[in-house]
A = this chain, B = another copy of it.
Amino acid sequence: MEAWVVGVDLGATKIALGLIDAQNRIVARQRVPTAPLEGPAAAVARIAQAVDALKTALPADARLAGLGICSPGPLDHRTGMLLDPPNLTGWIDVPLRQMLVDRLGLPVILEHDAKAAALGEYHYGAGRGERDMVYIVVGTGVGSALILDGRVHRGRNNSAGEVGHITIRATGDVCSCGNVGCVESFTAGPAIARAYRRALAAAGAHRPAESSEAITTENIVGRARGGEPLAVQVLADAGEALGTAVATLAMILDVELYVIGSSVAKAGDLLLEPARQAVAHHAHRSVAARVRIVRSALEDDGPILGCGWLARQRP
């Protein structure tokens, strides 16, 4: 019998599930709200219901071998516990893996969402055939997962990859972490929106109508695609900071491939081309020549497929 698995991407607002066949294709999907305020037990019940729905797509010659689930951190992948994820208010020390095992009767593995997305890209997406890869999430925050010699580098306390909070400049807005000059304070979605609002204000009375529309990264990307110089410049500035961080990673780790995912990555080359130029500027020439910065190939499917890969690693 073929072994199929389920991958689950548990986010702050929604839970996306995929049924994955033996060829690592997502053949059926479910999507349910997380409703974090209702607590983890309610979310587990919703996940179980969605898994039941996915099972109806399972062929007669296949069995469900396991489930991988990823969520925002901090979490402990060894014990399968969510610790105190800021994006899931009130979910403190939740034994999510055990709750799912009890409910589903399946082997379950829990992983951090950026690491799961990285594993998805590494095995099935932009990182196929590579030895090393850094996956960088650029969304509401900036984080990363490091794959070195084919393995996730976790660090002594499982906190490696905090690239959003390395210092690249001596000045700038105070970051959410309290530091000044963090990558995240230049490159994350909220930083881009803030920079755009400032640029609009500096452009002054010429653009009063702009204030009526919500300023989101998506809107800014849309305006930049339409050729609006302010929007193009704001994304270029964010890309410059991202590229400076990639240069630092490349100089320290000597990794060649950087895969950029999550919402801000949807800006594509409006963000990534200035990032590439910044790498050329900040890294040694021989290092910069080998660095490749690409968009996530799997986009939102990355975490689900990464969870599927993890589910297959269980004995």
Number of A residues contacting the other chain (C-beta, 8 Å)?
Answer: 42
CB contact under 8 A between A165 and B284, given known A131-B156, A156-B131, A290-B157? yes
Within 8 A of B (CB), among A167-182: 167-171, 177, 179, 181
Secondary structure at chain A's binding surface: helix, strand, loop or mixed?
loop
* This protein's copies in its complex: 2
Partner of A148, one of B153, B157, B159: B153
Query: Does A253 belong to the interface (CB within 8 Å)?
Result: yes
Contact with B along A272-286 (1 / 0, CB 8 A): 000000000111101
Give the residues in chain B near A255, CB-CB below 8 Å: 155-156
Partner of A159, one of B146, B159, B161, B254: B254
Give the residues in chain B near A171, CB-CB below 8 Å: 170
Indicate if the CB atoms of A253 and B179 lie closer than 8 Å. Answer: no
Indicate if the CB atoms of A166 and B251 lie closer than 8 Å. Answer: yes
Indicate if the CB atoms of A282 and B160 lie closer than 8 Å. Answer: no
Partner of A156, one of B132, B162, B179: B132
Cβ distance A268 to chain B, nearest Cβ, rounded Å? 24
CB contact under 8 A between A251 and B290, given known A132-B156, A170-B169, A179-B281? no
- What residues make up the interface of A, taking CB atoms closer than 8 Å to B? 131-132, 146, 148, 153-163, 165-171, 177, 179, 181, 244, 247-249, 251-256, 281-284, 286-287, 290
